[in-house]
Amino acid sequence: MFENIIKFSARKDYIERIFPEDYPEPVVKNIPNWFKDLEAKDPHTIKNCMPFLDALSYGYILKMPQDMDLKHGFQEDKKKYDSERKYSLNNPQFLNYAHETKHNDIHPLTQISGKCPFVEKNNFLPIYKIISPWIINTPPGYSCLFVPPLNNQDDRFEIISGIVDTDCYPQPINFPFVLNGHKYKTLKTVIKRGTPIAQIIPFKRNSWKMKIDKIENEKWFSLNFFRLSFHKVYRNKWWNKKRCK
């Protein structure tokens, strides 16, 4: 049933120092409690919405490899931002791997000048990276889409989405991220080791060509009839089960 394998590789000494719960894992194991607690009796709640559930449960979760201290806010002169972001090495027995460092890897603002929405959202700070120890490998012809956990994002930050051809890229994949600066003008927090940071969705690379099609009114109204009971019809008639293990 599982024809394709996605492989996560890291240094032997790193894997031996961390707990299994810090490994990448199927995202279905990270369904949030608020969703589990929803009543399913009302057919119109998102508990019965298969597109929402598929986004919430398909793919794999990558987690924060070690604690990261975040602090930013105005300096005393109130003229510019003060920012400090560093990896915390309070638990070296778990965190001693190739990227163990107190130094940050950043993208300067000159790389995203102009009207890029990340600049303002990130409070005009450089774009910092989460350094990952994991090399990700997929079968030939398959790439991976990396996005913030869908329908389950962290309130404080989110990675910048991207696609990597993981069938041929032999290096760890790092993750630039932005703060939720629209909500937090100042912030002092720690992103704990094990915090979900990215949802990984493998896909087969294909070429596509767009087409615009006209639907006759009579057929359109007929199709629209099913929309009124979409939650039932979609699941029973068109939905396909998706599995990641």
At 121 the three-state DSSP class reads helix
pLDDT in tens, 25-44: 999 999 988 888 887 666 66
Q: Would you kindly state where each structural domain of the chain is located, as residue ranges?
A: 7-21+60-215
For the entire predicted model, the pTM comes to 0.85
The two three-digit tokens of residue 205, written as one number? 């690379």
* pLDDT exceeds cutoff 90 at 87: no
Query: What pLDDT, in 10s, does the model give residues 185-239?
Result: 778 888 888 999 999 999 999 999 999 999 888 888 777 766 655 556 777 778 8
User: Measuring CA to CA, which residue among 88, 106, 196, 187 is closest to residue 147?
Assistant: 196
Tokens representing 56?
A: 């919430």
Domain 7-21+60-215 -> CATH class? mainly beta
Query: Nearest-CA neighbor of 137 among 7, 4, 244, 3?
Result: 7
- Summarised one tens digit per residue, pLDDT across range 127-151 is 888 888 899 999 999 999 999 999 9
Distance CA 77, CA 64 (A): 34
- Answer whether 146's CB lies under 8 Å from 199's CB: yes
- Between these two residues, 145 and 73, which has the higher pLDDT value? 145
Q: Which helix (H) or strand (E) holds 204?
A: strand 196-204
Answer whether residue 95 shows pLDDT above 50.
no
- In which band, very low, low, confident or very high, does the pLDDT at 48 lie, cut at 50, 70 and 90? confident
